[in-house]
Amino acid sequence: MTDIDLDDIERRMNGAVEALRTEFGGLRTGRASPTLLEPITVEAYGAVMPMNQVGTIGVPEPRLLTVQVWDNGLVKAVEKAIRDAGLGLNPQTDGALVRVPIPELNEERRKELGRVASKYAEQARVAARNVRRDGMDRLKKMEKDGDLSQDDHRLYADEIQTLTDQTIQKIDDALAAKESEIMQV
């Protein structure tokens, strides 16, 4: 009959929501968490690598993160990646150890974290819309090839749009919850 797999489209859209929740996990407000540095990528060996593949992230104190870099040649790259990540962190190098003090959250810092959360949410919305576009393109191709009637095309398109709207709503709800958590004093 047709090879439009709505379950696959829904799974891919839910993947965008799960990725967003993982990124939100890195926006800890109360204390230091290794997930804060995990989404950061480092230029290493001519490639872009996740932070946890160039060093060990530790939390020796509630307001301090450390990155024990395995290759001394990458210490500067790790320090630069943390500084340029837009998290408002100022790393300090001590040999192969990079110390990242977590500043006390003032009103300005909370607003900055809110902007970072909004940026993550927008990336998740774009990912969900890309899945929708992929599904819609597949529908158009099937209709053009004669594998799908116009009525079926319209029905599937409506279902894909409904899935997209539900996913965007989940993303907006997650963003609202994270922003209220960030702004909580």
3-class secondary structure per residue, the chain: CCCCCHHHHHHHHHHHHHHHHHHHHCCCCCCCCHHHCCCCEEEECCEEEEHHHCEEEEEEECCEEEEEECCHHHHHHHHHHHHCCCCCCCCEEECCEEEEECCCCCHHHHHHHHHHHHHHHHHHHHHHHHHHHHHHHHHHHHHHHCCCCHHHHHHHHHHHHHHHHHHHHHHHHHHHHHHHHHHCC
Distance CA 46, CA 175 (A): 35
**In this predicted model, what pLDDT tens digit does every residue of 11-46 receive, in sequence order?**
999 999 998 988 887 776 656 777 778 878 898 888
The confidence score (pLDDT) of residue 128 equals 94
Of the two residues 3 and 7, the one the predictor is more confident about is 7
Distance CA 43, CA 41 (A): 7
The confidence score (pLDDT) of residue 1 equals 42
In this prediction, what percent of the chain has a pLDDT beyond 90? 34
The confidence score (pLDDT) of residue 29 equals 62
Which CATH number describes the domain made up of 6-23+106-183? 1.10.132.20
Q: How confident is the model at residue 134 (pLDDT cuts 50, 70, 90)?
A: very high
Q: Over 80: is that where the pLDDT of 2 sits?
A: no
**In this predicted model, what pLDDT tens digit does every residue of 34-84 receive, in sequence order?**
777 887 889 888 888 888 888 998 888 878 889 998 988 888 999 999 888
Q: Which residues contact 104 (CB under 8 A, 6 or more apart)?
A: 63
Class of domain 31-101: alpha beta
Domain ranges of the chain: 6-23+106-183, 31-101
